[in-house]
A and B are shown apart, each in its own frame.
Chain A
Amino acid sequence: MTTSTFVKLDGIAKRWNGQLGVEGITLDIPEGSFTALLGPSGCGKSTTLRLLAGLELPDEGQILIDGKDVTTSAASDRNLSMVFQSYALFPHLSVAENVMFGLKVRRVPKQERLEKLHRALEITGLLGYEGRKPGELSGGQRQRVALARAIVAGQRLCLMDEPLSNLDAKLRNAVRKDIKKLQRDLGITVVYVTHDQTEAMSMADTVVLMKDGHIQQVGSPEDLYSRPNNTFVAEFVGAPPMALIESTALEGFGDDKTVGIRAENIQIVPAGTGRMRCKVNESEFLGAETLIGLDHDGTSGLCVLQPGLSLMPEGDEVEINFDDGNLHVFDDAGKRLAG
């Protein structure tokens, strides 16, 4: 994987009737990388992707792809492909015609077109379905047709807008691996929009977490998990998300800070030896472990994981302990303090 910047967004802003779309998006995407734009709905991740695709034009800022300024270029001049959430397959055209649509438009000779079609269908496992219409395919197959259409032209940049959200959970896992493998094998740069953190964390080299049109943190999945920039990132990433404790509820942290701790770093200890005394408010058996939710003044999302089946009755009092080294400290604005 090379590390030279392939896609560059510089100070991009897009507003609708004064309403916020995205603001101050600055991002460097290296060639051959897998970048996930992650965030809750309405955070501007799809808008960012559409700006990159050329389906919208930014009000401010600059977009460079492969060193070329494409800020105001038409979508077709940006040499990229896109997979839509709805797949956007042409319903009256067969699989083969759908996949070859772009090649035909770009007047690729017939022989070459058929070779590329064959290869794309081979990669996506769709050989034998050439003559089917999208309406005669399952959701997973349609999704693969959309993928085949995106890779057939051999563009180096592929944008994906929640491509898995219309699939059932089991299929989603399988396709996730397929997409990741495809991206590695073809060496293409993928920008992937999702609201599902499992997708982002498991597939991406770089995760861009967004909220309200602003980037909250850019980093590797490990970065986001173990060094969240702010309390939003801390509470968004991870399942269960990080618990936040007001510093007044703990000794030695002053009174205007927030302290974060992950469930796996909390231990239940015998009475009298713990740092906090909490009440059990829920017990959830997850299979390999049991999630126990805890209640304490000035905390939110506090919970602990116990191995195996170890349900605890609601209302029980337990004491918990944790190391200072596992704590994340945020200032009164929610920003991470050094450490």
Chain B
Amino acid sequence: MSTHANLERRRQAIYGWLLLSPALVLLSAFAFYPSIATLWTSLFSRGTRRRPVEYVGFENYSDLFADPTFWLVVKNNLMYAGVTIPVSMGIALAMALWANGKIRARGFVRTAYFTPTVLPMIAAANLWLFFYTPGLGVLDQIGSVFGLPSVNWLGQPETALWAIIIVTIWKEAGFFMIFYLAALQTIPEELKEAADIEGASRWTYTRRIVLPLLMPTTLFIAVNALINSVKLIDHLFILTKGGPSDASKLLLYYIWEMAFAFFDAPSAAAMTVMVIVVLAIIAAIKFSYLDKRTHYQ
């Protein structure tokens, strides 16, 4: 190879690495390194003054598996994900279909739906704290009109998780609606007209045409909702702090507690590793299996 071609190749390679380096540096420092460090930490014991840190293999993991609180938190989180993901997506789709129709005050409807998303989670939680407060809260005020007894929604184990779930759905549905709305607007008007002429009902059109065309969006939202169901715990700090008796405790909150309230970093690390592994597996399934059955335009 002639020298100038060689030089050109090297120049291209340097150029490529230069473009790549900002992302590489940031991701390494704030994503790859912490992940590996977490994995590493999870394999060592918690150091105390009397007992120095030592390699314990998977002991932290087996300790967790033997911890009933851990299983309660996992159960809570599964319930939390199992309800918030489908319900918030369903509501988002319904709202988007409505807000995309030829209705009056469409702009107002869209803004109204999106408002919960704009509010910071902490502010939203404070708002709901007011709704849920026994005696004074809006829910109780409405209940008392119909002669219902006062309920401490956040204060009893049977209702605390559900109260948290409702706040999350309220917060997320509007956000997901925006994605659905954007996707709906890329569907040409003529498809509806063609379906009309063929005699398709509104339901048939929605089921056979609109929903399949929304599949890429649904997939994207599902992944986001899944991540949020693990990630979104801000409101726990305001509303229940995981209580009462761990009834509304979620995984990330428990991890935070382990690390910063009980100062048990290895256990927190072990739990984090497990969450990452589970999320990675689910995302891999979604993008490999479901992607093939989805029509992208």
Could you tell me the distance between the alpha carbons of A80 and B199 in the complex, rounded to whole angstroms? 10
Please give the distance in Å from A309's CB to the nearest CB on chain B. 46
| A residues less than 8 Å from B208 (CB atoms) | 90, 101
**Closest B residue to A78 using CB positions:** B197
Closest partner residue, chain B, to A77 (CB atom): B199
Q: Is B158 an interface residue (CB 8 A)?
A: no
Is the beta-carbon distance between B212 and A84 smaller than 8 angstroms?
no
Looking at the assembled complex, report how far the CB atom of B89 sits from the nearest CB atom of chain A, in whole angstroms: 20
Complex interface residues of chain B between 208 and 266 (CB less than 8 A to chain A): 208-209, 212-213, 215
Residue A200 is within 8 A (CB to CB) of chain B in the complex: no
The answer to whether the Cβ of A137 comes within 8 Å of any Cβ in the partner chain is no
Chain A contacts for B18, CB-based, 8 A = none
Residue of B190, B199, B212 touching A86 (CB-CB under 8 A): B190
Q: A76 to B198, alpha carbons, bound, how many Å?
A: 6
Query: Which residue of A91, A105, A135 contacts B198 across the interface (Cβ within 8 Å)?
Result: A105
Asked if A55 and B200 make an inter-chain contact with CB atoms under 8 angstroms apart, the answer reads no
Closest A residue to B193 by beta carbon equals: A55
Cβ contact of A102, chosen from B191, B198, B215, B295, cutoff 8 A: B198
- With both beta carbons as reference points, the residue of chain B lying nearest to A91 in the complex is identified as B297
Contact A81–B295 (Cβ < 8 Å): no
Interface of chain A residues 102 through 120 with chain B (CB within 8 A): 102, 105-106
Query: Is the C-beta of B204 less than 8 angstroms from some C-beta in chain A?
Result: yes
Closest to B294 in A: A92
Contact between B295 and A82 (Cβ–Cβ < 8 Å)?
no
Q: Which of B195, B198, B201, B212 is the one whose CB lies under 8 Å from A92?
A: B212
Number of B residues whose C-beta is below 8 Å from A? 20
Interface contacts (Cβ under 8 Å), in number, total: 63
Q: Taking chain B's interface residues, is the majority helix, strand, or loop, or is none over half, making it mixed?
A: helix
CA separation between A149 and B191, bound complex, in Å?
13
Which A88-144 residues sit within 8 Å CB-CB of chain B? 88, 90-92, 101-102, 105-106, 133, 135
List residues of chain A with CB within 8 A of the CB of B213.
91-92
Docked-complex contact A81 and B212, CB < 8 angstroms: no
The answer on a CB contact under 8 Å between B204 and A90 is no
Task: Please state if A82 and B197 are interface contacts (CB–CB under 8 Å).
Answer: yes
Q: CB of A268 within 8 A of chain B?
A: no
22 contacts between A and B (CB under 8 A): A53-B193, A55-B193, A75-B193, A75-B197, A76-B199, A76-B200, A82-B197, A86-B188, A88-B188, A88-B190, A88-B193, A90-B191, A90-B209, A91-B213, A92-B295, A102-B197, A105-B198, A106-B199, A133-B295, A135-B297, A149-B194, A153-B198
Chain B contacts to A: CB under 8 angstroms: 188, 190-191, 193-201, 204, 208-209, 212-213, 215, 295, 297
